[in-house]
Amino acid sequence: MREAFQDLLYNAALLLVLVYVYDLLARRLSQRTLAFRLITGLVLGGISIALMISALVLGNGVIFDTRSVALSAGTLFYGTLPGVIAGLIAAVYRAAMGGGGAVMGVSVIASSVAVGALWRRWRQVAQRDPGILELYLFGLAVHAIMLALTLALPATLATLHGIALPVIVIYPLATVVLGLLMIDARRRRQAEHALRESQQRFASFAEFMPGRLWIRDDQLRFLYVNPSLAESLGSPADQLLGKAPEDVSDPETAAVARALCERALGGESVDLIERWPFEPEERYYRSLAFPIARESGAPLLGGLMFDVTREHTAEQELKQRAADLQRTLEGAVQAVSTIVEVRDPYTAGHQRRVARLSAAIAAHMELPEYEREGLRLAALIHDIGKVAVPAELLSKPGRLTEIEFRLIKAHSIAGHDIISGIEFKQPIADIVLQHHERLDGTGYLGGISGSDIRREARVLAVADVYEAMVSHRPYRPALKPEVAIGELREGAGRLYDAGAVDACLAVIGNGFRFEYD
């Protein structure tokens, strides 16, 4: 019994080594071709013969070996055709060996191939990996049939006594181990195939993409350079591999490239437009750099560069046109402001002074740039509606009648109507319309109150009141700043926006002064 165990264990170990070597060879062939199946069958048949040569020899020409493990597992994992080919080779050899166990030996070969083929089809092993329990049950089924076939041997009980326990214990376990090795090998092949496909897809993408692509290691040495980038650097791609920025660029450019790459490796987003100094004409490229995390080892660094010369040039032209339009708009606003000053010489410069104070208040309040710009423009022309008011009323030195005051108050609506047709980015017309409204609803002319008044108009109202009080008017001399400050403080939160009042007083306290012509 001990000798039988030792011989069968040796046979099983030889099986594992041979199948592992076989699998290393089979991995190099495409599994979908007929050539692979034929070669697989031949190799599996050769392994079966080798196993029979090193078999446990019993009396009356009866031999036992692990060919059943090899043939059943080989058919299960590599297909019916390789199994049939290997089975025919093994059966011919076993028949040629002869002896009293020849019939049983050929029957074991046939049953091993048949069970492997049926199990493969039933459990769809070609599309999935069986588990350990399934492999054990498979091996148990193959070798239970094998033991049943010993009934064809002379001295059946004596034979079973010699090999039953090793076969029913060792062979199914050997099937499990062999199956796990084959699964591991198949997974490696699948992983390698997926990796090759991924590399091919990456190469196709990288080599034919219009931009320039590179990958560097953590020392900033090139690991990959696509043809577009290699051409721009004037060297074949393979000669650029392993080179750092200093090896392919002048010192100044290399220093900039290294700084940008180190920023990307540090986790900072790098996305900028820059000139490419290696080309004769001025070109602009959008450059992106990003870290590539790995499961082990330092991260890699990837980079993309796209020619954006046309887009960059167009963007600069648009910016220039926008700046020109802004200057034109500024000139038009200034011209409109001048019209009011020509008709009302006593308030000359009022709008410009209010605009300066409004801008200072808005800056102190940290209003958004969009609101600050709209407020400044509105302040420059907030009294444009006075062109609709008779000139003699604007310069009347005495007290206005109720009707005359109504005409004066109408300048807010007139100003709104004059500029409402101009397409400003900001709501300039609404600010002009509301600059005489008050929080408690006592302003004019809409009678709106509280938050219904635009924030810009609330700021403009404070600046307008302060400038009007401290400046000379036809009907009164200029008041002292303390009087105007007192008016604002008294009306804060009731007539005027409290935040705007506080900001106005802070600005004045910090030294703001009007400039008079």
Query: Do 242 and 171 belong to one domain?
Result: no
- Residue at 222 is within a domain: yes
pLDDT of residue 466: 92
What is the count of structural domains for the chain?
3
What is the CATH classification number for the domain harbouring 69?
1.10.1760
Query: Do 340 and 376 belong to one domain?
Result: yes
What is the CATH classification number for the domain harbouring 231?
3.30.450.20
Query: Do 486 and 382 belong to one domain?
Result: yes
Query: Do 300 and 334 belong to one domain?
Result: no
Query: Do 132 and 269 belong to one domain?
Result: no
Query: Each residue's pLDDT tens digit in the chain (517 positions)?
Result: 455 556 556 666 666 666 666 666 566 666 677 877 888 888 889 888 888 887 766 655 556 778 888 899 989 988 899 999 999 999 999 999 887 778 888 999 999 999 999 999 999 988 889 999 999 999 999 988 988 887 766 656 556 665 677 778 888 988 898 888 888 878 887 787 787 788 788 777 777 777 888 888 888 898 888 888 888 788 888 888 999 888 888 888 788 888 888 888 888 878 877 776 555 567 787 888 888 887 777 888 888 888 888 887 788 888 888 777 777 777 767 776 677 666 666 666 888 889 899 999 999 999 999 899 889 888 888 888 887 777 666 666 667 777 777 777 778 888 888 888 777 788 888 998 898 899 998 888 777 888 899 999 999 999 999 998 888 776 678 889 899 889 999 999 999 999 999 999 999 999 888 877 6
Residue found by looking up tokens 């599996």 in the block: 44
Please write the tens of the pLDDT for every residue from 254-292: 888 888 888 888 888 788 777 765 555 677 878 888 888
The two tokens of residue 409 are 């108050």
- Residue at 126 is within a domain: yes
Identify the burial level of 448 via C-beta atoms within 10 angstroms of its C-beta, where 0-12 means exposed, 13-18 middle and 19 or more buried. middle
Note every long-range contact of 388-391, with CB atoms under 8 Å and residues 24 or more positions apart, other chains counting.
388/414, 388/418, 389/414, 391/343, 391/344
Boundary (domain end) residue, out of 200, 218, 238? 200
- Residue at 514 is within a domain: no
What range does the domain containing 376 cover?
A: 315-509
Please write the tens of the pLDDT for every residue from 158-208: 566 656 777 788 889 888 988 888 888 788 877 877 877 887 887 777 777
Query: Do 43 and 160 belong to one domain?
Result: yes
- The answer to whether 379 touches 458, Cβ cutoff 8 Å, is no
Cα separation, 452 vs 434, whole angstroms: 10
The two tokens of residue 41 are 């069958």
pTM above threshold 0.75: no
- Residue at 516 is within a domain: no
- Residue at 517 is within a domain: no
What is the CATH classification number for the domain harbouring 441?
1.10.3210.10
- The answer to whether 384 touches 376, Cβ cutoff 8 Å, is no
SS (H, E, C) 362-427: HHHCCCCHHHHHHHHHHHHCCCHHHHHCCHHHHCCCCCCCHHHHHHHHCHHHHHHHHHCCCCCCCC
- The answer to whether 115 touches 72, Cβ cutoff 8 Å, is yes
Query: Do 21 and 156 belong to one domain?
Result: yes
Nearest to 334 by CA among 384, 388, 390, 386: 384
Cα separation, 503 vs 92, whole angstroms: 105
Identify the burial level of 238 via C-beta atoms within 10 angstroms of its C-beta, where 0-12 means exposed, 13-18 middle and 19 or more buried. exposed
